[in-house]
Structure 1
Amino acid sequence: MKIGELARRAGTEVDTVRYYEKSGLLPPPPRAENGYRAYGQRHLEALAFIRHCRALDMPLADVKRLLDFVTHPDADCGDINPLIDDQLSRVRERLRSVQRLERQLVALRAQCDKNHTARECGILHELVAASLQEDCACHR
């Protein structure tokens, strides 16, 4: 299949396929007689694997390591658990960060409980104060 069909079947963009190929995540395809790249089922499966790992927000370096295990099924998989543990740590830290952000937004939202003019808006006052590096409700 040509690159456009591969991208369509994998639900991605052609540029993404090219990027993964340049990055060494996708093996280079053979060329057909007409010079076009001829992608096969193994490319589609690898691309689906990459996309799934990326949906789990795994860094490309980790995806490459996981792909190496997929292509070498007899290798010792002892490095996979720490790789996933590291990703869990990154995700948990992001969750804590998002929870801090939520608390800040709740505090900011509490500054204005009804419609006012923009001049009287507590949210705008707090945002302006923060931009001037003054204390604000969302960073106390």
Structure 2
Amino acid sequence: MRIGQLADLLGIQTQTIRFYEKKGLLPLPARSYNGYRVYTEKHYKRLKFVCSCRAIGLSLSETRRLQDYQDNPHQPCSAVNTLIDEHIMHIRSQITSLQDLEKQLTSIRTSCTGQSKVIACTILNKIDEIESVSCNRDV
């Protein structure tokens, strides 16, 4: 099958497939006589696994590690359990951080009745007073 067909089967864009190929998460396909990529059932299954890993929030490196375990199936699965346990701990940490952020935003929001002009907006003033500023998120 061609790249567009594979993309359609999984509901993703062709650029996503190329990205995973570049990252080594999907083996490079053979080429047909006219230069088109030719994907097989093996590519479909591998890509579906990658998409599933991404859907549950696993990083590319975690996904690669799980693929390595799949490629070497005669080892104990305790390493897989460890990887998933670490991911669960990371998710719990994110949940805690998001709950803290929610409390902070709720506190900021309740400080304003919406009755004043923007020039005296307590929300804007409180945001401006936040100490731990991190502008690295978008970099």
- The TM-score with structure 1 as length reference comes to 0.84
Kindly provide the CA deviation profile for residues 18-42 of structure 1, in whole angstroms up to 9, marking residues without a partner as x: 1111211111212222221100122
The residue correspondences of 1:47-58 to structure 2 (distance < 5 A) are 47-58=47-58
Structure 2 residue runs of 5 or longer lacking an equivalent are 134-139
Aligned to 1:95: 95
Structure 1 residue runs of 5 or longer lacking an equivalent are 134-140
Structure 1 position 112, deviation (Å): 0.5
Aligned to 1:4: 4
Structure 1 position 119, deviation (Å): 2.1
Kindly provide the CA deviation profile for residues 69-99 of structure 1, in whole angstroms up to 9, marking residues without a partner as x: 3333333322100000110111111011101
Q: Which amino acid is the alignment partner of residue 13 of structure 2?
A: E
- The TM-score with structure 2 as length reference comes to 0.85
Aligned to 1:72: 72
Aligned to 1:63: 63
The residue correspondences of 1:15-34 to structure 2 (distance < 5 A) are 15-34=15-34
Identical columns (%): 38
Number of residue-to-residue matches in the alignment: 132
Q: Which amino acid is the alignment partner of residue 29 of structure 1?
A: P
Aligned to 1:120: 120
Q: Distance in 2 between matches of 1:65 and 1:13?
A: 24
Q: Distance in 1 between matches of 2:127 and 2:46?
A: 46
Aligned to 1:85: 85
| Deviates further, 104-113 or 73-82 | 73-82
Q: Which amino acid is the alignment partner of residue 78 of structure 2?
A: G
| Deviates further, 47-56 or 25-34 | 25-34
From the CA coordinates, give the structure whose radius of gyration is larger.
1
Root-mean-square deviation (CA), in Å? 1.8
